[in-house]
Structure formats: structure tokens, C-alpha cells
Amino acid sequence: MSTSSIDKLTVPEKRALLEALCDSLAGHEVELPLSDAQRNLIRDRVAAFRANPKQGTPIDEAVAGIRAARK
């Protein structure tokens, strides 16, 4: 699919395409290695969580907040 054909898609169509692409990558994580920067970011976030696990937001609350902000 060319960039010009993607540009012609509506936003919902682009979102559906993106979701399909992400779904198609599931199970192929071994073929998508993390960069050093990504690995370091994950390590730092895990360390921050372990240092203060109550500081984060439960996933249900985070998702609800994101959805509310989009309305």
C-alpha cells in the first residue's frame, strides 16, 4: 500500500488499518527487538514502580481518564 493510498483513507479507516497492522505483529515480538533506549526506559519505569507502587494509576482509571478527555 502506498503512502498516497493511505492519505486517501478516512481517519476511522486509518485507525482500522493501524489496528490490523498491530494485530498482525502480535506474536512476532522476537522479530521486533527493543532499542537500548526502549530497554532503558522500561528498566527505569519498572524501578520507579518498585520504589513507589502506589504512585501509579490503575489501568481502569487511566483508560477512563483518556476516554473522558477525548470527548
Q: What is the pLDDT of residue 71?
A: 82
The tens digit of pLDDT for each residue in 17-32 reads: 999 998 998 888 778 8
Q: Return the ∠ at Cα 4 (arms to 10 and 9), rounded to 5°.
A: 10
Report which secondary-structure segment, H or E, holds 1. none
pLDDT tens digit sequence for 52-61: 988 888 899 9
Whole-number percent of the chain with pLDDT over 90: 65
Burial class (CB in 10 A: 0-12, 13-18, 19+), 29: exposed
1 pLDDT exceeds 90? no
DSSP label of 29: G
Confidence tier at 36 by pLDDT (50, 70, 90): very high
Indicate the domain borders of the chain: 1-32, 34-71
Torsion of CA 17, 23, 29, 33, to 10 degrees: 20
Contacts (Cβ under 8 Å, ≥6 apart) of 25: 32
